[in-house]
Chains A and B, each alone.
Chain A
Amino acid sequence: MQNDSEKLERLIDRTLRAQPPLRAPRGLETRVLNELARRAALPWWRKSFAHWPLAARALFVLASGVFIKLALTGVTWMSDAAAAPVASVQNKARIASSLVEVGAAVVHAIPPQWLYFGVAFGAAMYALLFGLGATAYRTLYK
């Protein structure tokens, strides 16, 4: 089995290595040269950054620096402007937490049987309305 495998490897290896390279299509050279000519004819701003004139590259770096500076200033200004609403949100959160505490005290004051009855009543009404809705749909849209 191992010998067979090695024999097959040698056989295929000999066969494949005897193959000369395939001949490239005649048009390949022309295609490449045409594409190079097309790229050379492009204006500088449509070429990669490395091919830009030195002055244009320097200007671009300078403009990028100015843009970054402006962006940072904008972020600082926006965070300052957002500080006031944050304080207002904190006040609202305090009010909401007080309301929740009041609600919890009320719930604790209600006897548990009433609460169970309320939950059961709500579930029964939900089931009833769901059943009515399903029946109406089946009857009217069938």
Chain B
Amino acid sequence: MQTPPTQLAHEADFTRFMRAYQDMVYSTAARLTGNPVQAEDIAQHVFLKAYENFDNLRGPEAGGWLKTVVRRTALNHLERYRKRWKFFSELRHEDAADDAPDFEIETPDTLLADLDTEESRARVERALQDLPDNYRVPLVLYHFEELSYEEIAAQLGASLSKVKTDIFRGRAAMAKNLT
């Protein structure tokens, strides 16, 4: 049986669409989960969902739609681990202050001399991937996904002070790894 020409055009459009967005979708999933294999599964799931809604995704809003779906899918994927993480993290930060964490760190003036080299980029990705989930996830949501502290707290179902403390500790851990 031959595939009709309109169907072929549709598939060619979708392939182009996928090529345009696959790095963005994969990056978001990989940085949130910290696991390349899980990230590939999540990216596949997101594109299959996109195919079902492809007729509504031909405008400029497609990128935003994909970002939202991949973020939600990755967070759902982390859900079962998140419960455990929240439990231990809440125990550790039970008496965390509202704004600033209660310990001091020495902030270096620079982290990596040249951020544009392949090696530096790989080091940053590795440092991010090595962070525990409870530091990495809010850090990625804040710095890459540009969510506010309040939005992150709402998405993770955690308190605002805990999110701020985890992000601060995540930054400190990254700085330590990169200096």
Q: Which positions in A face B, CB cutoff 8 Å?
A: 1-2, 4-5, 7-9, 11-25, 27-29, 31-33, 35-36, 39
Contact = CB atoms under 8 A, between A and B. Distances in A.
A35 B168 contact: no
Contact of A32 (B18, B24, B106, B139): B18
B107 A15 contact: no
B124 A4 contact: no
Interface residues of B, number: 43
Given A13-B143, A22-B26, A28 B44 contact: yes
Contacts of A25: 26, 36, 40
A116 to B, nearest CB: 55
Contact of B115 (A13, A15, A23): A15
B105 A21 contact: no
B51 interface: yes
29 contacts: A1-B100, A7-B107, A8-B105, A8-B175, A11-B107, A11-B175, A12-B111, A12-B139, A12-B143, A12-B175, A13-B143, A14-B115, A15-B111, A15-B124, A16-B139, A17-B143, A22-B23, A22-B31, A23-B23, A24-B22, A24-B40, A25-B36, A28-B26, A28-B44, A29-B18, A29-B22, A31-B40, A32-B44, A36-B11
Contacts of A17: 143-144
